[in-house]
């Protein structure tokens, strides 16, 4: 399973790094492992949404896994339903 | 909890601004192709005032504002057309609203007769077009409510705010987190967050320098709106922000609005002044992102202003004055020590001088306010004067944004008021005469302002009949103000108008019976360091020009020597300086000496004699002559022992610290710490002329 570990901090700098890594793997099924993620900033969220949009357009599976309760709380504050950041592809 | 008075003061400050935008809006509505938004803004101004007034139990104000607002609402919904009659009522209503606010400020009552009369007028407009039943229902709801500001005032009402936030890349770069902001908001009350991500592109074209996310937060809270602004305090300049109150019921009672925010919003913040329909329009017309973007500039602009008490600015101005003096002293010390040849010293000194000048200019610009504040008021004065005389008059204003010192703004109101009244009462002919002369029935008064060579020039001109010089002369003779048959030039006759007690009106009219004459205008302008001039052309009109200094704090002066004294002559009066030659000098009578200058013979005044520093006039071969001109175009040559320098001096009032001295307008402190007197050339010239047996004319021009 292709997997990418998200860094601890997904602020503007973190987002840029992850974006570059993701762009290298365009067209691959993607599991973003968020087990280390402790801080999600606005730029990080925007990057994740952009990535989701990309994978959705390409019709390739995209999922963020292992979201910690504190990150889930942040997503809730920001008005994001984690389910909307998934792309499921019917095989 | 802050004092109630503080809230009330804030309310009045806000009212001033609202009244200002109301008056501007109403005038804009007179234009045939005005935008609908103008009507909306006028409506909002009245609406906001009503809401706030209700919180303070100002029932007269609320009742009137409500009726006024109802009429505006009819205009807004095109049920009523803004024809001339309607506009007249609206203007009067705006004037009365100003009076009501003033009355509330002074805890007195406005003229009840006028209030009733205008309420009647407004009712007629409403009755003509509107639905009376609906109006009554509204009126019931708007019953003013007295607020108790004690902490035990019971449950404060909940207000819902809609906050749209769109972070700029800068906000992320500086590490500010939307989640933290939203968290802080949710601490204030019940927050519903909606993320708008529709504009986020796919990753391959995504850039972190082009942020697209925006949030819309609906916050139901009892906290004052200032608390919300406080949360965004540190991000306002890196985030597009729009905060406004949501009121979904069109006729939501204004008192309730105000209940929710006992701390009145800082004026200018787009909080409670959005009328319900506008909220709808915004949410319908634009996505949150666009709405945020459109308001962004506005929000940032508001965050960039602060209110500072005038005392502090005055103190700063005083200190700058001291700085200028100290700088001059430093220069003197360096000069004495003989370092002025050293290029380093010269450069450094020049730097300090430049800086002191810049600081002074900045402080002056803080104190500067647009003349609009004065001009605005003149519209009302004009309307009232036009009503009183039954003449049709239009006021054109030009250069409203010309800025002058705040102190001057306040002190200009009375003189200008009188000049406008004077122009309408005496300047403009009646409609019949105008028609006969082939002029439009409606008279025009033009009020203009402009910066002209370091001074501010304000002009009041009318297109009336001009000064009837024969009549002015007759009246002056009848009243014994001038000797019978005196030879007077046109200018001299014109300046007779400034004589105390001169009134050319044969019968005292409603306007001129106020005990203020043009002499008072002149005195007031002169007290401001200004001059008044008249230009008149028979049959075409009269123009009064006022020339004012930019500031009352510093003055550009010429440092002159009189025996062992240094004195300062204001540069504005100086026309030229010259060394006399025998060819240009003539003797008249026993002691009289005149200078032939530019085809004119002008009297020579020995300044040292005028100030009692010398008993008899000094011989003219040593010394310099400075030609000065007075307001009444009288010229004279002042004989002085020498000219030192030309520089800016800080004006220190003599009257405040010592007393009035004839021929001296103020004092200053020089670089060497000595006090130098600032000469009033006007007074010197006129008193000297009067000694030469022309006392009547001096009196005339001196006021």
Cβ–Cβ contact B195 with A under 8 A? yes
CA proximity to A44, closest of B167, B232, B164: B167
Tell me: the pLDDT tens digits for A19-77?
988 988 888 888 889 988 888 888 899 999 999 999 988 888 899 988 888 888 889 88
Domain tally for chain A? Answer: 1
Query: Is residue B28 exposed (0-12), middle (13-18) or buried (19+ Cβ within 10 Å)?
Result: middle
pLDDT-based confidence at residue B537 (cuts at 50, 70, 90): confident
pLDDT-based confidence at residue B567 (cuts at 50, 70, 90): very high
Q: Which residues pair with B246 in a beta bridge?
A: B160
pLDDT-based confidence at residue A2 (cuts at 50, 70, 90): low
pLDDT-based confidence at residue B128 (cuts at 50, 70, 90): low
On chain A, the residues whose CB falls within 8 A of the CB of B202 are 50, 53-54, 57
Q: For residue A87, give the DSSP letter.
A: B
Predicted confidence at residue B407, as pLDDT, reads 79
Whether residues A42 and B183 touch (CB distance < 8 A) is answered with no
Predicted confidence at residue A1, as pLDDT, reads 57
pLDDT-based confidence at residue B622 (cuts at 50, 70, 90): confident
pLDDT reading at B355 higher than 70: yes
Of A16, A26, A46, the CB nearest to B212: A46
On chain A, the residues whose CB falls within 8 A of the CB of B193 are 77-79
pLDDT reading at B288 higher than 90: no
The dihedral over CA atoms of B102, B107, B113, B115, expressed in degrees to the nearest 10, equals 50
Q: What is the mean pLDDT of residues B536-542?
A: 87
pLDDT reading at B258 higher than 50: no
Predicted confidence at residue B142, as pLDDT, reads 44
Whether residues A42 and B212 touch (CB distance < 8 A) is answered with no
Q: What is the mean pLDDT of residues B614-624?
A: 82
Whether residues B172 and A45 touch (CB distance < 8 A) is answered with no
On chain A, the residues whose CB falls within 8 A of the CB of B178 are 41-42, 78
Predicted confidence at residue B444, as pLDDT, reads 92
pLDDT-based confidence at residue B516 (cuts at 50, 70, 90): low
Residue A91 lies in a domain: no
pLDDT reading at B271 higher than 80: no
CA distance B143 to B148: 16
* Structure-block tokens of residue A15: 């987002």
- CATH number for the domain spanning A52: value is 3.30.750.24
ipTM for the complex? 0.93
* Structure-block tokens of residue B321: 């004055």
Tell me: the pLDDT tens digits for B207-220?
888 888 899 998 88
Cβ–Cβ contact B210 with A under 8 A? no
Predicted confidence at residue B448, as pLDDT, reads 93
- Please provide the DSSP assignment of B264-318 as one string: PPPTT-SSS---HHHHHHHHHHS-HHHHHHHHHHHHHHHHT-----HHHHHHHHH
Tell me: the pLDDT tens digits for B323-341?
877 887 888 888 888 887 8
Predicted confidence at residue B335, as pLDDT, reads 83
Cβ–Cβ contact A17 with B under 8 A? no
Q: What is the mean pLDDT of residues B132-138?
A: 43
On chain A, the residues whose CB falls within 8 A of the CB of B200 are 46, 49-50, 53
- Please provide the DSSP assignment of B584-641 as one string: GEEEETTTEEEEEETTEEEEEEEHHHHTTS-SSPPPTTSSEEEEEE-TTS-EEEEEES
Task: Find which of B163, B190, B203, B288 to mutate to test the A interface (most A CBs within 10 Å of its CB).
Answer: B203
Q: What is the mean pLDDT of residues B631-645?
A: 84
User: B354 — phi, psi (to 5°)?
Assistant: -60, -45
Predicted confidence at residue A48, as pLDDT, reads 92
Q: What is the mean pLDDT of residues B157-169?
A: 86
pLDDT reading at B667 higher than 80: yes
Cβ–Cβ contact A47 with B under 8 A? yes
User: A17 — phi, psi (to 5°)?
Assistant: -65, -50
pLDDT-based confidence at residue B278 (cuts at 50, 70, 90): very low
CA distance B63 to B367: 37
CA distance B517 to B422: 9
Of A11, A47, A54, the CB nearest to B204: A54
pLDDT reading at B299 higher than 80: no
B167 SS3 class: strand
pLDDT reading at B525 higher than 80: yes
Tell me: the pLDDT tens digits for B574-607?
899 998 888 888 887 766 788 888 888 888 988 8
Fold classification of B159-303 is: Alpha-Beta Plaits (3.30.70)
| CA-based nearest distance B206→chain A, Å | 7
**Cα separation values, A8 from A31, A41, A44, A52, B208, Å:** 16, 11, 11, 20, 19
**Cα separation values, B186 from B227, B261, B330, B567, Å:** 12, 18, 59, 68
A9 Ramachandran zone, left/alpha/beta (phi>0; psi -120 to 50): beta
Within 10 angstroms of residue B124's Cβ, the number of other Cβ atoms is 13
On chain B, the residues whose CB falls within 8 A of the CB of A41 are 172, 175, 177-179
Predicted confidence at residue B155, as pLDDT, reads 52
CA proximity to B664, closest of B605, B607, B617, B591: B607
Of A40, A57, A74, the CB nearest to B202: A57
User: B341 — phi, psi (to 5°)?
Assistant: -85, -20
Q: What percent of chain B has pLDDT over 70?
A: 81
Tell me: the pLDDT tens digits for B10-42?
778 778 888 888 888 888 888 777 787 888 888
0.95 surpassed by pTM: no
CA distance B368 to B377: 18
Residue A90 lies in a domain: no
Roughly how many angstroms between the first and final C-alpha of chain B, as a whole number?
53
Q: What percent of chain B has pLDDT over 90?
A: 6
C-beta of residue B132 within 8 angstroms of C-beta of residue B81 = no
Task: Find which of B190, B206, B240 to mutate to test the A interface (most A CBs within 10 Å of its CB).
Answer: B206
Predicted confidence at residue B1, as pLDDT, reads 43
Where would I find the H helices in B175-275?
Answer: 178-188, 225-231, 254-260
Whether residues A53 and B203 touch (CB distance < 8 A) is answered with yes
How many Cα atoms are found within 13 Å in the side-chain-facing hemisphere of B394? Answer: 9
pLDDT reading at B251 higher than 70: no
pLDDT reading at B136 higher than 70: no
Within 10 angstroms of residue B701's Cβ, the number of other Cβ atoms is 25
- Which class is domain B4-141? mainly alpha
Where is pLDDT greater, at B156 or B191?
Answer: B191
Tell me: the pLDDT tens digits for B471-500?
888 888 887 778 887 788 887 788 888 877
Tell me: the pLDDT tens digits for B377-421?
888 888 888 888 888 888 999 998 888 888 788 888 888 988 898
Whether residues B195 and A11 touch (CB distance < 8 A) is answered with no
Predicted confidence at residue B631, as pLDDT, reads 65
Cβ–Cβ contact A11 with B under 8 A? yes
pLDDT-based confidence at residue B617 (cuts at 50, 70, 90): confident
Q: Which helix (H) or strand (E) holds B151?
A: none
Predicted confidence at residue B316, as pLDDT, reads 85
Of A26, A42, A77, the CB nearest to B193: A77
Cβ–Cβ contact A9 with B under 8 A? no
Among the ranges given (A3-7, B3-7, B100-104), the one the predictor scored with the smallest mean pLDDT: B3-7
Whether residues A43 and B208 touch (CB distance < 8 A) is answered with yes
Of A23, A40, A80, the CB nearest to B203: A23
Name the closest residue on chain B to residue A48, using Cα atoms: B203
- What is the distance, to the nearest Å, from the Cα of residue B54 to the centroid of all Cα atoms in its chain? 29
pLDDT reading at B133 higher than 70: no
Q: List chain B domain ranges.
A: 4-141, 159-303, 310-368, 371-549, 554-692
Domain B371-549 has CATH 3.30.565.10: yes
Angle at B699 between CA B697 and CA B703, to 5 degrees: 125
Cβ–Cβ contact B699 with A under 8 A? no
Predicted confidence at residue B59, as pLDDT, reads 80
Cβ–Cβ contact B124 with A under 8 A? no
Size of interface A-B (CB pairs under 8 A): 80
Tell me: the pLDDT tens digits for B437-463?
888 888 899 999 988 766 788 999 999
A81 SS3 class: coil
Which residues 6+ apart lie within 8 Å of B284 measured at CB? none
| CATH placement of domain B554-692 | 2.40.50.180
Residue A74 lies in domain: 3-85
CA proximity to B61, closest of B93, B13, B29, B14: B93
Of B173, B195, B202, the CB nearest to A53: B202
Whether residues A41 and B177 touch (CB distance < 8 A) is answered with yes
Overall residue count recorded for chain A in this entry: 91
On chain B, the residues whose CB falls within 8 A of the CB of A80 are 195
pLDDT-based confidence at residue B77 (cuts at 50, 70, 90): confident
Roughly how many angstroms between the first and final C-alpha of chain A, as a whole number?
16
Predicted confidence at residue B156, as pLDDT, reads 64
Cβ–Cβ contact B109 with A under 8 A? no
């Amino acid at each position: 399973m292709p997997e990418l570990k998200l860094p601890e901090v997904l602020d503007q700098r973190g987002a840029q790094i992850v974006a570059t890594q993701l762009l290298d793997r365009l067209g691959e099924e993607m599991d973003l492992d968020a087990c280390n993620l402790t801080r999600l900033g606005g730029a990080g969220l925007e990057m994740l949404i952009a990535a989701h949009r990309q994978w959705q357009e390409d019709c390739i599976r995209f999922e963020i896994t292992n979201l910690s309760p504190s990150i889930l709380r942040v997503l809730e504050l920001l008005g994001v339903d984690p389910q909307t950041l998934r792309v499921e592809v019917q095989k | 909890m802050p004092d109630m008075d503080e809230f009330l003061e804030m309310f009045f400050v806000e009212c001033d601004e609202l009244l200002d935008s109301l008056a501007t809006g109403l005038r804009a509505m007179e234009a045939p192709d005005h935008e609908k938004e103008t009507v909306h803004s006028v409506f909002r101004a009245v609406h906001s005032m009503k809401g706030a007034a209700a919180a303070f139990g100002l029932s007269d104000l609320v009742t009137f504002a409500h009726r006024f607002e109802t009429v505006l609402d009819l205009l807004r919904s095109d049920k009523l057309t803004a024809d001339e009659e309607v506009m007249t009522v609206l203007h009067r209503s705006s004037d009365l609203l100003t009076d009501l606010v003033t009355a509330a400020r002074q805890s007195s009552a406005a003229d009840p007769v006028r209030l009733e009369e205008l309420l009647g007028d407004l009712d007629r407009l409403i009755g003509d077009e509107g639905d009376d039943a609906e109006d009554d229902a509204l009126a019931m709801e708007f019953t003013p409510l007295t607020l108790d500001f004690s902490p035990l005032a019971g449950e404060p009402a909940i207000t819902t705010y809609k906050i749209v936030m769109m972070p700029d890349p800068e906000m992320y770069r500086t590490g500010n987190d939307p989640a933290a902001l939203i968290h802080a908001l949710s601490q204030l009350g019940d927050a519903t967050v909606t993320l708008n991500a529709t504009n986020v592109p796919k990753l391959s074209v995504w850039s972190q320098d082009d942020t697209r996310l925006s949030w819309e937060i609906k916050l139901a809270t009892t906290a004052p709106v200032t608390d919300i602004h406080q949360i965004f305090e540190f991000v306002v300049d890196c985030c597009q922000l729009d905060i406004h109150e949501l009121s979904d019921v069109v006729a939501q009672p204004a008192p309730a609005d105000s209940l929710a925010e006992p701390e009145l919003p800082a004026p200018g913040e787009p909080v409670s002044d959005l009328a319900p329909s506008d909220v709808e329009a915004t949410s319908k017309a634009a996505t949150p992102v666009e709405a945020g973007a459109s308001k962004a500039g506005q929000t940032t602009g508001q965050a960039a202003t602060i209110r500072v008490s005038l005392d502090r600015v005055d103190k700063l101005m005083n200190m700058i004055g001291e700085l200028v003096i100290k700088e001059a002293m430093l220069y003197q010390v360096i000069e004495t020590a003989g370092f002025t040849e050293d290029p380093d010293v010269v450069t450094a000194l020049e730097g300090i001088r430049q800086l002191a000048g810049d600081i002074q200019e900045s402080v002056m610009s803080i104190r500067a306010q647009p003349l609009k504040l004065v001009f605005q008021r003149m519209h009302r004065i004009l309307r009232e004067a036009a009503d009183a005389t039954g003449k049709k008059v239009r006021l054109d204003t030009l250069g409203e944004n010309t800025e002058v010192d705040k102190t001057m703004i306040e002190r200009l109101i009375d003189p200008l008021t009188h000049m406008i009244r004077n122009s309408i009462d005496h300047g403009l002919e009646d409609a019949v005469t105008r028609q006969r002369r082939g002029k439009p029935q409606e008279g025009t008064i033009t009020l203009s302002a402009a910066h002209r060579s370091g001074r501010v020039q304000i002009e009041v001109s009318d297109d009336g009949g001009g000064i009837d010089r024969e009549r002015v002369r007759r009246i002056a003779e009848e009243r014994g103000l001038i000797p019978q048959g005196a030879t007077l030039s046109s200018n001299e006759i014109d300046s007779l108008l400034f004589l105390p007690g001169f009134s050319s009106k044969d019968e005292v009219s409603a306007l001129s019976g106020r005990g203020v004459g043009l002499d008072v205008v002149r005195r007031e302008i002169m007290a401001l360091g200004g001059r008044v001039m008249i230009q008149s052309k028979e049959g075409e009109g009269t123009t009064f020009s006022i020339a004012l200094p930019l500031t009352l704090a510093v003055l550009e002066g010429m440092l002159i020597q009189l025996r062992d004294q240094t004195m300062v002559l204001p540069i504005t009066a100086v026309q030229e300086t010259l060394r006399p030659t025998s060819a240009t000098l003539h003797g008249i009578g026993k002691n009289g000496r005149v200078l032939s200058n530019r085809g004119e013979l002008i009297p020579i005044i020995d300044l040292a004699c005028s100030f009692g520093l010398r008993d008899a006039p000094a011989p003219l071969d040593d010394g310099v002559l400075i030609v000065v001109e007075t307001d009444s175009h009288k010229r004279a040559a002042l004989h002085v022992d020498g000219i030192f320098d030309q520089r800016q001096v800080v004006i220190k009032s003599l009257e405040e610290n010592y007393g009035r001295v004839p021929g001296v307008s103020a004092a200053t402190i020089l670089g060497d710490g000595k006090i130098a007197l600032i000469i009033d050339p006007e007074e010197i010239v006129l008193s000297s002329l009067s000694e030469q047996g022309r006392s009547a004319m001096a009196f005339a021009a001196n006021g």
